Amino acid sequence: MNSLIELNNVSLYNKSGIRLKGINISINCGEKIALIGSSGAGKTTLLKLANGTIFPTHGEVRFNGLSISKLTHKQRLKIGTLWQDLRLIEELSVCQNINAGALGRHNVTWSIANLITGININECSKYLRAANLPVSFLGRNIRDLSSGQKQRVAISRLLIQRPEIILADEPLSNLDQFLANKILNTLLSVNTDSTINTAKTCIISVHQLDVLQNFTRVIGIRSGQVVIDCDTTDLKDIDLRNLYN
Amino acid sequence: MAVIIGNLHLGGLNTLFRFFISSFTPSLNSQVLQSAWNGLQVTFGFAILAWSLSLFLGVLLGLLGSYNLCSFFNISPVIATVIRRTLTVPRAIHEVLWGLLILQICGLSPWIALVAMTIPYTAHMARVFSEQIDNISLKELIAIKLTGSRNLESLITAITPKIIPIIATFGFYRLECAVRGATLLGIFGLGGIGTELQLSLMSLQFNQMWTSLWMLFISLFLLEKAIEWIQQPKFYINNTGVYTITFISSLIFSILISLLLLNYLGINFFEGLHFTPIHPPNFYRFIEAFKSLNWVQLILDTLILTFVASCIAIGLPPLIFMNVHSNIGQGIVSIILILLRLMPAPLVIILLLLSTTPSTSVVALALGLQNLGVLGRILRDNINKQGDQLFNSVLSTGATNSNAWLYGRFIQESISYLSYSIYRTDIILRETIVVGAVGGVGLGWQLQESLSSFAWEEVILISIVFVCITLIGESINEQMQKALLGIKRTNQFSMLKI
């Protein structure tokens, strides 16, 4: 299989000490990976390293064989991130925020037009519906939405980017059980609208262990180190107990 | 106050009384009205031109002076540091001082008022904008950049909506300052309503003076209300693009209208400037100039003036609001605050000097009263935004109205009020050069004397000393503000370089 993202002997230190140590992970095309571990274990840091927000102190991160620090904007377009804190622009409308995910495919005139008035309505509507929000939300202001609704706008922004790989940091945290399942299915490209090209590969950090059967692989992190890396079918209860104790 | 009262003379009091009575009978003579109206248009024309130019340049330099944006565009932060450091000098010099200096070199020309205001306002706006941009959370910008968007598109989408509210609040506030600045320059002979005020005061034509004053008060009051209306968040939230385009179009339109208006009023910007060559200063004459001036006294007077004026401006508003509770009383206080804010300090000094002798106390009182108007308004507006719960709960314990105001209202605002007051002392220090020139005190007075006698070495030395004092004051105040608010500056892009 083709390696999409590789973390080779990656370590990250900062003033407060070791954040990640000796991480070796290879993510292949088509894999659906669940990233698990208790709070503060290093899941968010690992995702930030994988998308190039931060760079490792030692080791290297590669995307499609290229160093993550040297990607062009077109190559970056292929990596989609759903942030834990969502990072929506509160001053803009839902439609303008969704379009912000598609800026990599358009020029500066398009970005100015998006700022003046919400454009690209049809496509925005499609991705908003995919994230389970009605089209009537397009003109709404982000500040007026609940945290669950904001979460779904962030997912729409991610989907419109049409990335090859999705890195999602706790995307189910603000959602009820029913909605969480629907959103997870969308991110994992299960039972979704055929007109929506979702990524074939994804790494999703989750706290709900009952959703693990939807993934093909599980990576568990404890104190900055990988302690579980196996197919979901091979995951044992004792591994989970060790991870959280 | 004791010094002022001790030096009072009755003849002057009578003149002062005539001045106040004339406020009810302003001259309605058509020539006077026409002249005041023309002066007002000139002042507003210059103010809008200087404000527009300084806003445009200020935003540009503010962006370049932002450490976070330099980091985002992979530009060396040295550029931001150089821009910030370079702008401290033009910022430290008051627009009137710029006007007087350029006037000596270029002769009387309409450009002087424009350039004199644009230089310090640009520097001031650039500083505020760069600091504000550095305080904006750039997480959204990073998120959009990582979707594969190019730098410019990311910046337009993620940063413009955050900068626009800053421009809407601080930028428009500077327009009010520009109108006051243009009026002040007029008092120093550069035309407009300020010159009208100065001429009518010098000839003791108080009815004519009040015609100009009322016109100025009404127009500034209307401007204040218009700015409050434009600043409403409902206009830019969700409509950032439309608001920005409307704003830029209005700016260009205002510049064109101002230029046409000034041209119609006979002010020709394209008249040639008459440069007066300044001979390069001689080192020995510098030494002589340095020895000839009593620096300790001049600096001490300036510092005392700043201190006393700051005490009046900062200390009185809480005392007034603590003791005035009735609606009528508060209404009267509001009107007095408007009048204090709108009356240029040099005119207050001239009025006070009608009945007393020049002294630091007179100048400090005039300067303090004008700034009291500004600080009083800010304190009142912020307190009006509070809820009544805390005030009522303190009142229910049996506390007097004054104590309930102190514990139930002021205590919530005290930190932000003090923080703004510290910033205001910077402005008061800068204004000492102007009021000092009129009131015969400190470095301002000496500068006026040296300019009148073309003693360039003295002018240069005084300007350098004044800039140094202002910068030291600014630096001390910055540290005090940080300590008060507990600000810790962080580079949001530092995480990229862990």
Helix (H, G, I), strand (E, B) or coil at B110: helix
The partner residue sitting opposite B148, judged by closest CB among A76, A117, A139, is A76
Helix (H, G, I), strand (E, B) or coil at B307: helix
A-chain residues near B140 (CB < 8 A):
87-89
What pLDDT was estimated at residue B18? 87
Closest residue of chain A to B136, computed from CA coordinates? A89
A-chain residues near B144 (CB < 8 A):
100-101, 103
Interface test mutation site (partner A, options B156, B157, B164, B244, max chain A beta carbons within 10 A): B157
Q: How far is B382 from chain A (nearest CA, A)?
A: 23
Q: What is the mean pLDDT of residues B252-258?
A: 89
What pLDDT was estimated at residue B413? 83
> How crowded is residue B299: how many other Cβ atoms within 10 Å of its Cβ?
16
Residue B498 has pLDDT above 50, yes or no: no
Q: What are B325-332's contacts with CB under 8 Å, separation 24+?
A: B325/B401, B325/B402, B325/B405
Cα separation of the two ends of chain B? 60
> How crowded is residue B224: how many other Cβ atoms within 10 Å of its Cβ?
19
Residue listed under structure tokens 């470095």: B443
**Helices B172-185 and B110-135 sit at what angle, rounded to 10 degrees?**
150
Q: Do B149 and A73 touch (CB under 8 A)?
A: yes
What are B221-234's pLDDT values in tens digits? 898 888 888 877 77
State how beta strands A32-36 and A217-222 pair: parallel
Helix (H, G, I), strand (E, B) or coil at A27: strand
Residue B11 has pLDDT above 80, yes or no: no
Put simply, whether A1 touches B (Cβ < 8 Å) is no
Q: Kindly list the structural domains of chain B, giving each domain's residue range(s) and its CATH number in brackets, ordered by start.
A: 29-264 (1.10.3720.10), 283-497 (1.10.3720.10)
Strand ranges inside chain A, DSSP E: 3-14, 17-28, 32-36, 58-63, 66-67, 79-82, 165-169, 201-205, 217-222, 225-231
What pLDDT was estimated at residue A138? 92
State how beta strands A165-169 and A79-82 pair: parallel
- The ipTM, to two decimals, is 0.86
- Between the CA atoms of B45, B48, B51 and B57, what dihedral angle is there, to the nearest 10 degrees? -90
Put simply, whether A115 touches B (Cβ < 8 Å) is yes
What pLDDT was estimated at residue B239? 77
- Counting every residue, how long is chain B? 498
What pLDDT was estimated at residue B355? 80
pTM score, whole prediction: 0.79
pLDDT tens-digit profile, chain A (245 residues): 568 999 999 999 887 788 899 999 999 998 999 999 998 889 999 999 999 988 999 999 999 999 998 888 888 999 999 998 899 998 889 999 999 999 999 988 999 899 888 789 999 999 999 888 999 999 998 988 988 899 999 999 999 999 999 999 998 877 788 888 888 888 887 655 666 767 789 999 998 888 899 999 999 999 899 999 999 999 888 888 888 87
Q: Do B161 and A89 touch (CB under 8 A)?
A: yes
Chain B contacts to A (CB-CB under 8 A): 139-140, 142-144, 146-150, 152-154, 156-158, 160-162, 164-165, 236-238, 240-242, 244-245, 495-498
**Helices B172-185 and B193-202 sit at what angle, rounded to 10 degrees?**
40
